[in-house]
Amino acid sequence: MSATAIESISTDRPGIPFTRLLSVELRKMFDTRAGRWLMISIAVLAVIAAVSVIAFAPDSAITYGTFGTAFGVPLNILLPVVAIMSVTAEWGQRTGLTTFTLVPHRASVIWSKVAAAVIVGLVAVVFAFVVGALGNIVGAAINGLDPVWDIDLAQFFTISLSFILALLLGFALGALFRNTAAAIVGYFVYGFVLPAVFGILAAFQDWFKDLQPWIDFNFAQTPLFEGNMTGQEWAQLGTSGLIWFVIPLTAGVLLILRSEVK
């Protein structure tokens, strides 16, 4: 046998299945100190939110909805950061050099990251709802009240959806900027600066008031928390989501697929 035959490349071996990539990406979210603490802080903040409601809210506000609003704040800030860091670490820490040589099909890597981030997000959301429920029961018992369950199943799903949308938006910004700081700043501008700007604009300009639900992704998500979404509200979620989520994600993914990994 000649030496050339010994080292020839085989192209009929099995490739890397998606499930394996997914488990690797999930592992990468927890195997650094930064990643682990981010996950722990989500859990801890959900508990702190519930305890704060019990400690500070008046009796009339001890309802499941109040607990939901309380844990919503840390989730809305931290879940996007989880998603952002899963993408940007490949560039910031330059691990992409290894990742993309082991898996040259970059799209597979991106979708496994999306799936891993969504799984982590769903687990965090369910955990927060459970902590909120426990808080509601304990809070009602301490104050001698009957627990008030003012979130129905439909709302549970639409509220969960809003957290996953926030996480996906973070992912899109991470893919677009490929830089942790820029993506986080981008997310805060989107989440905290734009609503104020759009609010002011809507207050003074009538033409914008009608347009706002169609283009403002934050605004279009508000009905998700109230439940009973109308067809028009879903359509508004769709058009604003196209602008704020689909376009940045597509641009980010195209950049990742074509750019040079250094």
Partner 1 sequence: MITVTNLTKTYGPYRAVDDVSFACKPGAVTGFLGPNGAGKSTTMRIITGLTPPTAGDATIGGVHYRDIPNPGTQVGVLLDASAQHAGRTGREILTLSALTMGLPMTRVDEMLELVSLSPSESKRRVKNYSLGMRQRLGIANSLIGDPKILILDEPANGLDPAGIHWMRSLLRTYADRGGTVLLSSHLLHEIEVIADEILVIGEGKIVAGGTKAELLKTAGTYVQAEDASALSAAATSAGLTVLPSGEGLRIEADPVQIGRLAAEKGLVLTELRAADGAGLEEMFLQLTSETQRDGVTPLAAEQTTGGVA
Query: 34 or 189: whose CB is closer to partner 1?
Result: 34
Beta bridge partners of 148: 63
Asked if 255 is part of the footprint of partner 1 (rule: CB under 8 A), the reply reads no
Closest CA to 252 of 122, 93, 116, 114: 114
Between 37 and 66, how does the x/- string for binding to partner 1 read (CB under 8 A)? Answer: ------------------------------
Q: Looking only at residues 63 through 92 of this chain, which bind partner 1 when binding is defined by CB under 8 A?
A: 89
Asked if 18 is part of the footprint of partner 1 (rule: CB under 8 A), the reply reads no
Asked if 23 is part of the footprint of partner 1 (rule: CB under 8 A), the reply reads yes
Asked if 205 is part of the footprint of partner 1 (rule: CB under 8 A), the reply reads no
CA–CA distance, 187 with 195 (Å, rounded to integer)? 12
- For 113, residues 6+ apart whose C-beta sits below 8 A from its C-beta are 25, 86, 87, 171
Binding residue (CB under 8 A) for partner 1 from 43, 51, 103, 182: 103
Between 143 and 162, how does the x/- string for binding to partner 1 read (CB under 8 A)? Answer: --------------------
Binding residue (CB under 8 A) for partner 1 from 14, 58, 144, 231: 14
**Where do contacts with partner 1 occur on this chain (CB under 8 A)?**
3-4, 6-16, 20-21, 23-24, 27-28, 31-35, 89, 93-98, 100-105, 258, 260-262
